[in-house]
Amino acid sequence: MIGTADDAQSIAVAHAMYSIGEPLPEGWTLLGQGQHRTAYLAPDRGTVYKVGSDHHNRIEHQRLTAWREQGKAWAPATSLHVVDRFEPAIPAWDGTTAVIAMPYIAGDDADCDVTDIFQTMLSGGAMDLNISANVICKDGQPYLIDAAGI
């Protein structure tokens, strides 16, 4: 399993508090924000948690898992943690939400062949294929790090 339920719960609450101006807990780092989700690096420096759209997290987990099962080395392992949702501004939105966790992969400047990723995306009817934003390379191996909008 990637990540922990405790860390997923902690960052889900921290994300809600951060959205109203509170600082992130010590050790957490904001990696980036997209239209539907925000990515955070955990204090262990080895796990990324994506918080925001339950739907997009579930879709990304489903797609990356299926591609990994097909032997696609570019699809990183993921875990889906269903945690209590906390919305300080809109308590009626409280309930549960899915947080996705994946290994943090520090890209490098190495070139990598993204042909298989590109072909897989096109054959699946890709809606959001932005190789420069969705793929990183490490030691010549590409990794698809955002598969929610594809």
In whole angstroms, what is the distance from residue 55 CA to residue 27 CA? 27
Which alpha helices (DSSP H) does 19-72 contain, by range? 54-69
pLDDT attached to residue 129: 62
Average pLDDT on 30-35 reads 91
Output the pLDDT for position 93: 61
Query: Which pLDDT belongs to residue 4?
Result: 97
pLDDT at 111: 83
What pLDDT digit, counting tens, does each position of 2-15 carry? Answer: 999 999 999 999 99
Confidence (pLDDT) at 121? 76
Is pLDDT larger for residue 131 or for residue 103?
103
Nearest CA among 102, 91, 99, 77 for reference residue 10 = 99
Using an 8 Å Cβ cutoff, are 8 and 83 in contact?
A: yes
What are the C-alpha distances in Å from 48 to residues 14, 94, 99, 101? 14, 23, 10, 6
* CATH fold for domain 5-105: Phosphorylase Kinase; domain 1 (3.30.200)
pLDDT at 103: 97
Percent of the chain at pLDDT > 90 equals 58
The answer to whether residue 53 scores a pLDDT higher than 70 is: yes
Q: What's the pLDDT tens digit per position in 86-127?
A: 766 666 566 788 999 999 999 887 788 988 888 887 776 665
Distance CA 37, CA 115 (A): 26
Tell me the Cα Rg of the chain. 16
Give the domain ranges of the chain.
5-105
| pLDDT for the residue numbered 120 | 81
The pLDDT of residue 148 is 78
